[in-house]
Structure 1
Amino acid sequence: MDQLYKYLVIQLSFVLALTFFGTPCQADIYRYVDADGKVHFTNTPTSSHFSFYMKEGSDTRSLKDVIKYCADLYRLEAALVQAVIKAESDFNAKAVSTKGALGLMQLLPETARDMGVRNPFDPEDNIRGGSRYLRLMLDQFNNRLDLALAAYNAGPGAVRRHGGIPPYEETRNYVERVKKYLYEYQIDRESLL
């Protein structure tokens, strides 16, 4: 009986060890920038100030890698994709605007469908779709960044109708904000936030 007991204890210990140490753990990583500009990261957010940053685990790419991959895929500057994400959602993958735009690059559901995005809250899917749409806007407006950004924000029809950046305060501010972030990311190429 003692031998059977020892055998069961060893087997149970082995199963528990495999359960806790043999399989990789994965969690979401969240970030928060406090009033002093200090960036905090955690996998267990303690307040609503934290927003989704990236998935943890060896089978996922970092947000920076996804941005670089999608920027290269659509012949965009990575700093531009980062700047659009910063202006659109402040890197919050779960962001939803009052107009119904979704995810990091704030894609409207129709635009997301047109760009082949299946899950607008999946960072990689959203960045791929948003980058593709940004490339289409640049192509439509002869690589004129101001017009492409205005089209990304207000729609290409509004840009054509007004013969340039529409006279909407939100769109004008958006174009300037993205350009400001673009400049900052171009200077500090290592920065993501």
Structure 2
Amino acid sequence: MLVFTTQLDAKSLAYKYHAPDGSVILSDSLLGLPFVLVEQNLHTNYADFSMKGTVAKPMKESIALRRVNFLSAVDAAVKKHEIDAALIHAIIEAESAYQPEAVARTGAIGLMQLMPGTAARFNVSDSNNPIQNVMGGAEYLKYLLGYYKNNLKLAVAAYNAGEGAVDKYGKTIPPYRETQKYVKRVFSLYRRNLTAKSLTSNSLKISMN
């Protein structure tokens, strides 16, 4: 007999547990004792990505407070470009720590650190405007994911170093220390964001009786 406590699609569930009564719990949230975790599988549409690996530490309070100011900008970009919000937030945190006034020594500007050429390419007239900046950065990320056939590592590497650098090295992560550290940083933040997202969701129980 199947007992559903919510209307969740089982294919999207991330965690599988054994309960003390012998039943199996499928959940998209982290459960504590007495449930025993036996399998974890957060699904994404991206190639070359796994939940295995380093997960970033919890967000600092100062960053979390700034993040709240840009939730609507990220949501708008998600709706228009169909990019995972958890990924956009990972890029913003890695690039600027949610500081819209950030300017890099390379000339990159704003929340998603757009270079002037990238801003022009994606019709961003004012990179200091958070809404435009996030919209342009998300569109660039969407383009990169398409260009690299949903290979997340290559798309993230290209966001940092440019498509030319990734292509130059045979569509691999360029051997630049900064870029390699950047990819690892974004992946750890993305894993943390996905896990945090699952914590806010409900669970579904399948009874084995």
TM-score over 0.5 for the pair: yes
More helix per residue: 1
Asked if residue 118 in structure 1 is aligned to residue 115 in structure 2, the reply is: no
Residues 113, 180 of structure 1: CA spacing in aligned structure 2 closer, same or farther, 3 A cutoff? same
Whether the aligned pair in 2 keeps the contact of 1:94 and 1:103 (CA below 8 Å) is yes
Give percent identity, aligned residues only.
37
Superposed CA deviations along residues 85-129 of structure 1, whole A, max 9, x for unmatched, are: 000000000000010000000000111011111110111000000
- The amino acid that maps onto 1:119 is D
Superposed CA deviations along residues 49-73 of structure 1, whole A, max 9, x for unmatched, are: xxx667xxxxxxx511210220221
Question: 1:11-22 to 2 correspondence within 5 Å?
Answer: none
Whether the aligned pair in 2 keeps the contact of 1:88 and 1:104 (CA below 8 Å) is yes
Aligned partners of 1:105 and 1:40: how far apart in 2?
15
- Unaligned 5+ runs, structure 2: 1-58, 200-209
Residues 41, 166 of structure 1: CA spacing in aligned structure 2 closer, same or farther, 3 A cutoff? closer
- Unaligned 5+ runs, structure 1: 1-35, 43-51, 55-61
Following superposition, the deviation at residue 187 of structure 1 comes to 1.3
Following superposition, the deviation at residue 74 of structure 1 comes to 1.0
Q: State the Cα RMSD in Å.
A: 2.3
Give the match for residue 142 of structure 2: 135
Say which of 177, 185, 198 aligns to 1:177: 185
Give the match for residue 46 of structure 1: none
Q: TM-score, normalised by structure 2?
A: 0.62
Superposed CA deviations along residues 132-178 of structure 1, whole A, max 9, x for unmatched, are: 00001111100000000001000001101101100000000000100
Following superposition, the deviation at residue 41 of structure 1 comes to 9.4
List structure 1 runs of 4+ shifted beyond 4 angstroms.
none
Give the match for residue 161 of structure 1: 168
Pairs aligned (count): 140
